[in-house]
């Protein structure tokens, strides 16, 4: 029985080695192809958010104000009680060097006890700055309420502020937020079903039926027909070995398979706040002629003063008046876009007419309403 198992293991190693050689000998794909690891994630293999509440001490008088953040004092008293120090009832003190903070970070997949993770520390009260502070031991919990990591360390704060006695101040960046590289130690591993022996499911980061189909075809071309099957537009299921060690080698091979993703849908993305407009390469237009003019109205106001006579009993009155009203209308030429115009033609026509971002938004929307623009307009 032992000899049979060793023989099966040797056969599997030879098979994986043969697959690796075959993969390396495959012809190189075009530059547009991407690796599976860049297109999809493995179901069940993910990071998890962690959150904790703690105290930052050692601040140079820039901590929370006691009258504004009573929970800072309560937290400080609770911490002192754990060390056998009891604050007299009714005692009042001002903790200028202490700040209450929220600590958050991510525990990556397969993180084991003892691994280090980066954390971010953010003030939740009125602390002016966390520069120079030290985060005290803070348990970090997951969504299930269990403690998965413990954070502690000296803060790195990118911002700073200075304030004068007359109330003038200067602030650079945000001094109330800091980071602690490797500031949390993992105490509990997050369970996952990677070693459960079930088939592996790749979840596309952007759902697309064409990409899902091509990914399954690329895997089957390498490993044989029927190994991979597209489930829907965002998932591909792949048969995999049961042994965890073999699954690692198997995934190492699969994640480097090149797949040519499907072309994105024709979209135009407009950021109305910044005036940014991004036109996708597959945007097309039907034959259309466009002109766009603007009307500018200028009103100049003047102030008139009415004074009473030398011996009169009246009062001086300031009267507003309109001095001049001008109306100007720009005369912009009409430009034509031929049917099936590509991205280069559209950009050239827009640059020729010299439309501003705000005008271009109106032109694109009008073309969409007229049915001449073959693209989806997304406003963010």
pLDDT 10s digits, 216-227: 999 999 999 999
The arithmetic mean of pLDDT across residues 165-170, rounded, is: 64
Tokens representing 365?
């929307």
Q: What percent of the chain clears pLDDT 70, i.e. is strictly above it?
A: 70
**80/62 Cα distance (integer angstroms):** 21
Nearest Cα to 288, choosing from 190, 364, 183? Answer: 364
Phi then psi for residue 114, to 5 deg, are: 105, -20
On whether the CB atoms of residues 75 and 175 are closer than 8 A, the answer is no
How is the chain split into domains, by residue range?
2-45+193-259, 48-186, 267-305+316-379
Average pLDDT for the chain: 80
The arithmetic mean of pLDDT across residues 267-282, rounded, is: 82
On whether the CB atoms of residues 159 and 182 are closer than 8 A, the answer is no
**28/22 Cα distance (integer angstroms):** 12
pLDDT 10s digits, 189-212: 998 888 888 899 999 999 999 999
Position with higher pLDDT, 341 vs 209: 209
Nearest Cα to 108, choosing from 168, 49, 28, 183? Answer: 49
In the block, residue with structure tokens 């700040």: 99
Question: What one-character-per-residue DSSP string does 142-211 give?
Answer: -TTS-EEEEEEEE-B---EEEE-TTS-EEEES-TTEEEEEEEEEE-SPPP-SGGG-PPEEEEESS--HHH
Res 3: pLDDT: 42
pLDDT 10s digits, 12-61: 454 445 544 444 444 444 447 899 999 999 998 889 999 999 999 999 88
Out of 73-87, 162-176, 238-252, 310-324, which region has the weakest mean confidence (pLDDT)? 310-324
Res 255: pLDDT: 92
pLDDT band at residue 74, thresholds of 50, 70 and 90?
A: confident
pLDDT at residue 132 above 70? Answer: yes
pLDDT at residue 126 above 50? Answer: yes
Out of 72-76, 145-149, 163-167, 206-210, which region has the weakest mean confidence (pLDDT)? 163-167
């Amino acid at each position: 029985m032992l000899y049979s198992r060793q023989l099966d293991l040797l056969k599997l190693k030879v098979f994986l080695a043969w697959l690796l050689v075959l993969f390396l000998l495959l012809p190189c794909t075009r530059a547009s192809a991407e690796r599976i690891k860049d297109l999809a994630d493995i179901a069940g293999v993910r990071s998890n958010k962690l959150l904790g509440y703690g105290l930052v001490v050692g601040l140079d008088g820039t901590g929370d104000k006691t009258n504004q953040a009573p929970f800072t004092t309560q937290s400080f008293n609770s911490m002192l009680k754990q060390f056998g120090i009891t604050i007299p009832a009714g005692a009042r003190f001002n903790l200028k060097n202490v700040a209450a903070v929220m600590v958050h970070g991510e525990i990556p997949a397969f993180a084991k006890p003892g691994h280090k993770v980066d954390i971010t520390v953010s003030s939740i009260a009125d602390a002016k700055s966390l520069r120079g502070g030290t985060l005290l031991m803070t348990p970090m919990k997951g969504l299930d309420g269990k403690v998965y990591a413990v954070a502690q360390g000296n803060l790195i704060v990118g911002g700073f502020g200075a304030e004068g006695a007359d109330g003038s101040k200067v602030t650079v960046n945000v001094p109330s937020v800091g980071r602690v590289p490797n500031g949390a130690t993992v105490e509990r591993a997050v369970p996952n079903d990677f070693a459960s022996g079930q088939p592996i499911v790749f979840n596309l980061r952007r759902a697309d039926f064409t990409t899902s189909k091509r990914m399954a075809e690329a895997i089957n071309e390498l490993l044989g027909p029927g190994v991979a099957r597209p489930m829907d537009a965002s998932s591909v299921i792949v048969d995999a070995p049961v042994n965890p060690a073999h699954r690692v080698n198997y995934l190492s091979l699969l994640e480097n398979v090149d797949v040519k993703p499907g072309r994105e849908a024709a979209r135009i993305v407009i950021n109305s706040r910044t005036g940014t407009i991004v036109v996708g390469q597959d945007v097309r237009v039907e034959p259309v002629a466009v002109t766009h003019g603007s009307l500018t109205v200028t009103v100049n106001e003047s102030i008139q003063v009415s004074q009473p006579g030398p011996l009169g009993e009246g009062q001086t009155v300031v009267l507003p008046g309109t001095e001049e009203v001008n109306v100007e209308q720009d005369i912009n030429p009409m430009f034509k876009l031929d049917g099936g115009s590509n991205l280069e033609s559209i950009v050239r026509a827009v640059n020729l007419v010299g439309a501003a971002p705000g005008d271009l938004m109106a032109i694109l929307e009008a073309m969409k309403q007229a049915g001449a623009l073959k693209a989806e307009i997304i406003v963010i």
